Amino acid sequence: MASIPSSLKNTLKPIHYSLATRSIRAAVAEQGLGDLYSKLEKIIPDLSGQFSDFVVDTDYLRTKVRAQHAFQVFMIEQALGLVRAEKKGKINVVDIGDSSGAHLLYMKGLFEKEVETLSVNIDPKAVERIKSKGLNAVCMRAENLGKTGFPQKPDLLMSFEMLEHLHDPAGFLKAMSEIGCPYFLITIPYLARSRVGLHEVRAEVTGPHTPEATHIFELSPPDWKLLFKHSGWETVYEHLYLQYPKWHPLRAYAYPFKQFDFEGFYGVVLKANPTWKDRYTGW
pLDDT of 206 reads: 86
* Maximum Cα–Cα distance across the chain: 64
In a domain, 1, yes or no: no
What is the reported pTM? 0.91
CATH classification of the domain holding 72: 3.40.50.150
Q: Which of 239, 235, 241 is nearest to 262 (CA)?
A: 241
In a domain, 148, yes or no: yes
pLDDT of 151 reads: 55
Question: Which of 29-39 are b and which e, b meaning 16 or more Cβ less than 10 Å from the residue's Cβ?
Answer: ebbebeebbee
User: For residue 146, is pLDDT > 80?
Assistant: no
Structural domain boundaries, residue 77: 6-279
Question: What average pLDDT does this structure show over 208-234?
Answer: 92
Q: Which of 119, 267, 114 is nearest to 184 (CA)?
A: 267
Strand order from edge to edge, sheet including 233-242: 137-139, 115-121, 91-96, 156-160, 183-190, 264-272, 233-242
* Among 11-20, 71-80, 107-116, 213-222, the least confident range: 11-20
Q: Which of 210, 219, 215, 221 is nearest to 197 (CA)?
A: 215
User: For residue 18, is pLDDT > 80?
Assistant: yes
> What pairing do the DSSP bridges indicate for beta strands 183-190 and 156-160?
parallel
Q: Which of 192, 211, 145 is nearest to 172 (CA)?
A: 145
Q: How many domains does the chain have?
A: 1
In a domain, 217, yes or no: yes
pLDDT of 3 reads: 45
pLDDT digits (tens, 9 = 90+) for 44-99: 998 887 776 678 889 999 999 999 999 999 999 999 999 999 988 889 999 998 88
In a domain, 118, yes or no: yes
**Contact call for residues 81 and 136 (beta carbons, < 8 A):** no
In a domain, 100, yes or no: yes
**Contact call for residues 71 and 265 (beta carbons, < 8 A):** yes
pLDDT digits (tens, 9 = 90+) for 159-195: 999 999 889 999 999 999 998 899 999 999 999 999 9
